Amino acid sequence: MAKIIYGVSGEGSGHSSRAKAMGRHLLDSGHELKVVSYDRGYRNLQRGFDVLEIVGLSIASRDNTVSVLKTLSENVAKLPDGTRALNKLRALFKSYRPDCVISDFEPLTAYLASHYDLPLISLDNQHRMRYMTYDCPAGLRNDARLTETIVRAMVPRPWYSLITSFHAGTLKNDHCAVFPPLIRPAVRDVEPSRGEHVLVYATAGFDSLLDTLRRLPRESFCVYGYDENRQDGNLRFAPFSEEGFLRDLASCKAVIATAGFTLISEALHLAKPYLAFPMQGQFEQRLNSHMLDQLGLGKECLVPTVDAIAAFLYQLPEYESALSDYQGCGNPAMQERLDELLAGDLRLLKTYER
């Protein structure tokens, strides 16, 4: 059995959701596990795992657009705490003496794996933009190259990459494998139904979307992301609750949301048509919404308009028909491949240069 340090990005909930599924499998298989995360990832994982809290990068936005200045200023302010966190993490590596490192887009554990010459396994959806071919959205080729460079810088030289993706693509080398998205047990176990409401998930401040939804008074929208509990015309704002959100997701007739990978994956698994508003300035969300549109499982929309939302809702039967053939749960296959990777003598493995 292996001693593993598992670094998990704390940005959003998708990374920690994936880590819950894979981390529990590792513990059930008899491995020892130390998890490293921050922000929402730390909060989501601390109750079920032995977690070291560190400091990580975050993205700031306004009206669904990345704010470069605010993102830069917030991350620069974290530098003193980040130095202290790095020292704590170094101490953990020295005392725990792991056999390998798994990184879900968490750079400090990835860099220390390289520093201590440990096998590094990346496990995330970001590496599809590094090791998979895909149909790039029009006019964003430079953004794609920049994103690949960022992924390469965040997780340098993984020995093997386990990639999750809801769309297909050709792999660029034989030290990686692609699987359908990992779906958390609560989503796998729920029985979906078709109610009359549309689930809306938006980052706080995406007011242009809410203003547009108010102009569709015959539709009922359940809004998450603002952490409020009130009724405003045809908008019902719901406070954050994992159970409440899953209940509203499972019973909605469609989803209107930003283009985060995990929510798209869970919505598709539950056969919910998806209208995606990618965060402007974030290439991965543009890729997600573009591929969703290309697959006919939902629609990409860059600017919220009444006509665009009404057209999406009118076409729900077409999306529902396409979703009836969708298969998107990669948990067993990825767990099996990870078991195979950990079954050998990890001390003999070398970093794979590419």
Q: Which amino acid is at 337?
A: R
DSSP string, 282-339: -HHHHHHHHHHHHTTSEEE-SS--HHHHHHHHHTHHHHHHHHTT-----HHHHHHHHH
Q: Which residues pair with 318 in a beta bridge?
A: none
What distances in angstroms separate CA 37 from CA 28, 51, 61, 94, one per listed residue? 21, 7, 22, 18
* Unique residue bearing structure tokens 């693509």: 169
Q: Band the pLDDT of 55: cuts 50, 70, 90.
A: confident
Phi-psi region of 225 (alpha: psi -120 to 50; beta: other; left: phi over 0): left
| pTM summary value | 0.89
**58, 11 contact by CB (below 8 A):** yes
CA–CA gap between residue 23 and residue 110 (Å, rounded)? 17
Instruction: Note whether 3-182+330-348 and 186-323 share their fold.
Output: yes
CB-facing half-sphere around the CA of 294: CA atoms within 13 A: 14
At 352 the pLDDT is 43
Say which CATH architecture domain 186-323 belongs to. 3-Layer(aba) Sandwich (3.40)
Q: What is the percent of the chain with per-residue pLDDT over 90, rounded to a whole number?
A: 79
Average pLDDT over the chain, rounded to an integer: 90
Q: In this structure, which topology does domain 3-182+330-348 adopt according to CATH?
A: Rossmann fold (3.40.50)
Residue pLDDT, tens place only, 17-29: 999 999 999 999 9
Mean pLDDT of 152-170: 94
Mean pLDDT of 106-112: 93
At 83 the pLDDT is 74
- Return the minimum-mean-pLDDT range out of 173-177, 308-312, 324-328, 341-345: 341-345
CA–CA gap between residue 200 and residue 302 (Å, rounded)? 16
The residues spanned by each domain of the chain are 3-182+330-348, 186-323
